[in-house]
């Protein structure tokens, strides 16, 4: 790794948003990324973050879909990176089918192995402690009422406000 400070990425992660009861039966045209799970109708925000305040790429999925396929999708959309960076991932992304696509563009996955793995690997536990930065970013974005309640039925409207929330959070750095 070149430079004085190594590149750290916290990625991918997801957070739930819940649909209000009054909007659950309304029909609209277009993609909605709403799924029924135990908590009612929900959606997930999946993201890759560079720091505790900077989202790099994100997408929506239905609340009843798994995290790992969407994490792989985000990694594939990012493409190659100029220099190797550590990619701090949640244990939900520890499978070989997620770790291999993370290594292809030049990331160094930092994820603990599942306790029942036959051939576990070593990982940097000190750097892994920084993974909570992306959780804090999701918490800050979900502090906006329009994000945590998701009154917008269509993805395009909901994504627009999420982008606005990410911009506001980034500008708080200045």
* Segment 34-52, tens digit of pLDDT: 766 666 677 888 888 888 8
pLDDT category at 2 given cuts 50, 70, 90 is very low
Q: β-pairing, 8-18 with 40-49?
A: antiparallel
Residue 74: how many CB atoms within 10 A of its CB?
A: 18
* Segment 139-163, tens digit of pLDDT: 888 888 888 887 777 778 888 888 9
Q: Is residue 60 predicted with pLDDT exceeding 60?
A: yes
Instruction: Give 115 or 16, the one with higher predicted confidence.
Output: 115
- The string of DSSP codes covering 7-33 is -EEEEEEEEEEE--GGGTT---SS---
Alpha carbon distance 61, 67 (integer Å):
9
Q: pTM, whole model, 2 decimals? A: 0.73
Catalogue the long-range contacts made by 93-98 (C-beta closer than 8 Å, 24 or more residues apart). 93/12, 93/67, 93/68, 95/68, 97/68, 97/72, 98/68, 98/71, 98/72
Identify the CA nearest to 7 among candidates 83, 71, 112.
83
Taken in order of first residue, the domains within the chain and their CATH numbers are: 8-171 (3.30.420)
* Segment 92-142, tens digit of pLDDT: 888 888 888 888 888 888 888 888 888 888 888 898 888 888 888 888 888
Q: Is residue 19 predicted with pLDDT exceeding 50?
A: no
Whole-number pLDDT of residue 39 = 65
Q: Are 102 and 77 in contact (CB under 8 A)?
A: no
Distance from chain centroid for Cα 21: 26
pLDDT category at 5 given cuts 50, 70, 90 is very low
C-alpha atoms less than 13 angstroms from C-alpha of 17 in its C-beta half-sphere: 31
């Amino acid at each position: 790794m070149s430079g004085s400070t190594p590149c750290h990425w916290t990625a991918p992660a997801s957070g739930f948003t819940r649909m209000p009861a009054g909007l659950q039966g309304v029909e609209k045209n277009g993609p909605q990324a709403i799924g029924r799970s135990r908590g009612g109708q929900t959606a997930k925000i999946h993201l890759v973050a560079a720091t505790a305040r900077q989202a790099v790429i994100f997408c929506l999925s239905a609340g009843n879909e798994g995290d790992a396929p969407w994490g792989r999708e985000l990694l594939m959309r990012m493409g190659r990176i100029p220099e190797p960076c550590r990619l701090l991932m949640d244990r939900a992304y520890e499978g070989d089918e997620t770790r291999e696509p993370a290594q292809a563009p030049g990331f160094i996955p930092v994820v603990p192995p599942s306790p029942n793995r036959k051939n576990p690997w070593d990982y940097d536990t000190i750097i892994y402690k920084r993974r909570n930065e992306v959780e804090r970013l999701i918490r800050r974005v979900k502090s906006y009422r329009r994000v945590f309640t998701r009154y917008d039925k269509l993805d395009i409207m909901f994504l627009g406000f999420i982008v606005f929330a990410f911009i506001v959070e980034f500008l708080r750095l200045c």
